[in-house]
Each structure stands twice: as C-alpha cells, then as structure tokens.
Amino acid sequence: MSFLHTAWTRTRPNLLLVLPILLLAGALVAGGLTWRAQTTNREIAALEANQDRPVTTAAASQLILARVLQLARRDATEEMEPLVVALESRDVPLLLARARYALGNARLRRALDLIERSQLDPAGPLIVLARQEYRRALQARPEFWDAKFNLDVAARLIRDFPEVDRQIGDELKAEPKKIWTDIPGQPRGAP
C-alpha cells in the first residue's frame, strides 16, 4: 500500500501539469475536425444548389460524391471519371456505387439523346460504357436495385440494335433473324 501511495504522491504534480495540456490538445483537435466537417457540409450544400465548386481528388469522400452527382446532372462524364477513380481507391463502397451509377446514367442519357437523333453508331459505345458502370456499381453494392434495373435497360438497348456491316455507299447488309431456337431437343427447320 505504501508503494502505491508513494508513486501517487510523486506523479500527482506531473499529472496536474500534463492533464490541462492534454485536454487543450484534445479540444483543439475536436475543434479542427468540427470546422472541417462544417466546411465540407457547406461545400456539399453549394454543389447541391448547383453552384460550380472545384473539388480535388484529395477532398472528403462525401464531397467528391456531391461533385460527381453535380457533374452527372450536366453530363460532364470526362470530369467525373478522375473523381470516381479517387473514390475507388477508398473504402467507401456505398459512395462508390452511387458515383458509378451516376456516371452510367450520364452516359446512358447521352446515348439515348443520340438514338433520338438517329445517330446509332456513336450511341453503341456509350451504352456499352454505361453497362460497365452499372456492373461496377453492382460490384460495390450488390443489392442496388436501381443499378440492376438500368443495367437491364442498357442491355436491352444494345440487343435491340442489329449488328450491321457497312458496305460501299448507302447499302446496308443486316444478318437475318434466327427464327428457330437453339435449345437442345427442339427441331430445326420447318414444322
């Protein structure tokens, strides 16, 4: 008992000096983290209000996602890609899935716009890229129903366009449709 009493009497004055310094350091760290979170929240609110704010790849993950979503509304896919890659290097699968989904949606919207203007050739690669983004979103978050649905829509779009071989001039040659199934045991040819 006397050993503990002796140790306590020796360390008590030092603890009384160190404890306020530790508490002050903890308060400063907490204040800095709070200030950083408030700054990030202000930037996210500004991006959601459609104010153009530059965001670096070193920013907070939520801020990067907010910038990706803003760029997706403007269909600026080239600007989105480095930010999505930055999210990929972090361990935030939910945010990454939302970013990939937004990138896929932007590409699919651009492809649908091209289809409406009857520009099928440039629309095909955009649909393929959109499908890839939806698959990557599902890899990050397998239960993401919206990504599943859009992947299905994009898969059906690319299937609906026949493979066409261009010939000289305006002549197009399309492959004939397969009428009979390739299921084993089913007859081939006329009934």
Task: List all residues 6 or more positions away from 132 whose beta carbon is below 8 Å from its beta carbon.
Answer: 104
Closest CA to 161 of 129, 118, 103, 130: 118
Beta bridge partners of 174: 164
Output the six-digit token pair for 140.
């990050």
185 in helix, strand or coil? coil
Where do the domains of the chain lie, and which CATH numbers do they carry?
27-161 (1.25.40)
In contact, 129 and 157? CB cutoff 8 Å: no
Q: Which amino acid is at 100?
A: R
The alpha carbon of residue 62 and the mean position of all alpha carbons in its chain are separated, in whole angstroms, by 11
Please tell me the predicted confidence (pLDDT) of residue 179. Answer: 46
Round to whole Å and give the CA distance between 106 and 103: 5
H/E element holding 172?
strand 172-174
Round to whole Å and give the CA distance between 67 and 81: 11
In contact, 126 and 114? CB cutoff 8 Å: yes
Round to whole Å and give the CA distance between 44 and 33: 16
Round to whole Å and give the CA distance between 113 and 130: 14
The alpha carbon of residue 183 and the mean position of all alpha carbons in its chain are separated, in whole angstroms, by 39
pLDDT tens digits, the chain, 191 residues: what are they? Answer: 688 888 878 888 877 788 888 888 888 888 888 887 788 788 888 888 888 888 888 888 999 999 999 999 988 889 999 999 999 988 899 999 999 999 999 999 999 999 899 888 888 899 999 999 999 999 999 999 999 999 999 988 876 444 444 444 444 455 555 544 444 444 555 54
Q: How many residues does the chain have?
A: 191
